[in-house]
Amino acid sequence: MSLYDLPERPRRLRRTENIRRLSRETRLSTDNLIHPLFVKAGTNDRQEIGSMPGQYRLTVDQLVEEARELDALGIPGVALFPKIPDDRKTPDAKYATDADGLYPRAIRALKSEVPDLLVITDTALDPYNSDGHDGIVRDGDIDNDATLDVMRKIAVAHAEAGADIVAPSDMMDGRIGAIRDALDDAGHTSTALMSYTAKYASAYYGPFRDALDSAPRRREGVPVDKATYQMDPANSDEALRELRLDLQEGADFVMVKPALPYLDVIRRVKDHSDVPVVAYHVSGEYAMIKAASANGWLDEKAGALEALTAIHRGGADVILTYFAKQVAQWISES
Ligand code: PBG
């Protein structure tokens, strides 16, 4: 056996689990995780979402129970999304601003029963809009500024119900400034804003749209997709433009969504942001791991932890993920 005169041997730091622990550069922590949850009206059983095994549409009572468990596991917060029945959906998404609607009721229940758990609310119109878009449809297009008027009202209704963080996922121009202004006018200066800064027009939202029945409606006069407001997957400079605007307008957190296919964007946003960077590991990313592991094609735990660790390493300080509860359990067991 010959001995080579190698100036460096990187494998020395990979020799045992303890030396690997010692030289590990990033660590996934429960502190960084937010769990998205779905709430529905009524008192019947929770419904599992077909394309998202292990995720459910919950009644308000079940939501509170789930929140208690997440809180006990040390998860800092939940992002809430509503399943609105069809007969409540209208072209003006009016139900979104109803202070006694399902969503404000869910926020109030969470804040009264599990007060420390952060509630992150969604102000986009799509669950309430009979056209299935995040904005008001007018003459075959999305009316940006009419949408902002509605978003301001929704944000104030959420803050009034107790939301800790308001998170607009709509990608209208100027919404961070408009919502900040509306919240401040109403005295909610402490309610934080988490902007979906670089939200891409992605195929990976499919299971989420199943969960909420919120896909754009195939109908004359309704844009077929969200490409006039969500970003083109081919772009990354544009993410920095959105970042600049969001920071100027007062965003407290900035998000990139989806996560794993956009690690380069996460890194660029992280390098240019002086507020925490969030990544949304979306429904389709979750579904892929679930489906492959259900078929025995990859190991669920290893696959999920690798994906989330990579997103954290890529620059995300916070990750929204449907795996949050499982990861918190895995971390507490290890
Ligand atoms: C819509 C919204 C979407 C998601 C969060 N908010 C989907 C869309 O833009 O159609 C997707 C989340 C996920 O896929 O997990 N405002």
Which phi and psi (to 5°) does residue 169 adopt?
A: -110, 20
pLDDT at 97 over 90: yes
Domain boundaries, the chain: 26-333
pLDDT at 1 over 80: no
Pocket test for ligand 1, best of 121, 205, 230, 321 (most atoms within 8 A of CB): 205
- In this structure, the residue with its CA closest to atom 14 of ligand 1 is 205
Distance between CA atoms of residues 105 and 168, nearest Å: 19
Q: Is 283 in the pocket of ligand 1 (CB under 6 A)?
A: yes
C-alpha 215 – ligand 1 centre gap (Å): 9
Task: Report the nearest atom of ligand 1 relative to the CA of 36.
Answer: 15
Average pLDDT over residues 108-117: 98
Which class does domain 26-333 fall in? Answer: alpha beta
Average pLDDT over residues 161-182: 98
Percentage of residues of the chain with pLDDT beyond 90: 95
Q: Is 34 in the pocket of ligand 1 (CB under 6 A)?
A: no
Which phi and psi (to 5°) does residue 257 adopt?
A: -155, 135
Distance between CA atoms of residues 56 and 63, nearest Å: 10
C-alpha 205 – ligand 1 centre gap (Å): 6
Q: Is 124 in the pocket of ligand 1 (CB under 6 A)?
A: yes
Percentage of residues of the chain with pLDDT beyond 70: 100
Residues known to be catalytic:
199, 257
- In this structure, the residue with its CA closest to atom 2 of ligand 1 is 169
Distance between CA atoms of residues 318 and 301, nearest Å: 19
Helix (H, G, I), strand (E, B), or coil: what is residue 320? Answer: strand
Kind and range of the H or E element at 193?
strand 192-199
pLDDT tens-digit map of 134-156: 999 999 999 999 999 999 999 99
Q: Is 71 in the pocket of ligand 1 (CB under 6 A)?
A: no
**Residue 202 CB coordination number (10 Å):** 19
Q: How confident is the model at residue 223 (pLDDT cuts 50, 70, 90)?
A: very high
Q: What is the pLDDT of residue 45?
A: 85
Tell me the residue type at 1. Answer: M
Residue ranges of the alpha helices (H) in the chain? 17-22, 60-72, 102-113, 144-161, 175-185, 206-212, 237-249, 263-272, 283-294, 300-314, 324-333
Residues 6+ away with beta carbon under 8 Å from 100: none
pLDDT at 246 over 90: yes
Q: What is the pLDDT of residue 44?
A: 83
Task: Report the nearest atom of ligand 1 relative to the CA of 208.
Answer: 14
Q: What is the pLDDT of residue 256?
A: 98
C-alpha 167 – ligand 1 centre gap (Å): 12
Closest to 200 (Cα-Cα) out of 229, 169, 233, 246: 233
Average pLDDT over residues 77-84: 97
DSSP character at residue 271: H
Q: Is 134 in the pocket of ligand 1 (CB under 6 A)?
A: yes
C-alpha 3 – ligand 1 centre gap (Å): 56
Q: Does 242 show up as a binding residue in the annotation?
A: yes
pLDDT tens-digit map of 18-73: 999 999 999 999 999 999 999 999 888 889 999 999 999 999 999 999 999 999 99
pLDDT at 3 over 80: yes
Mean pLDDT of the chain: 97
pLDDT at 235 over 90: yes
User: Is the pTM above the cut of 0.95?
Assistant: yes
Q: Is 202 in the pocket of ligand 1 (CB under 6 A)?
A: no
pLDDT at 190 over 80: yes
Determine contact, residues 240/197, Cβ cutoff 8 Å: no
pLDDT tens-digit map of 124-133: 999 999 999 9
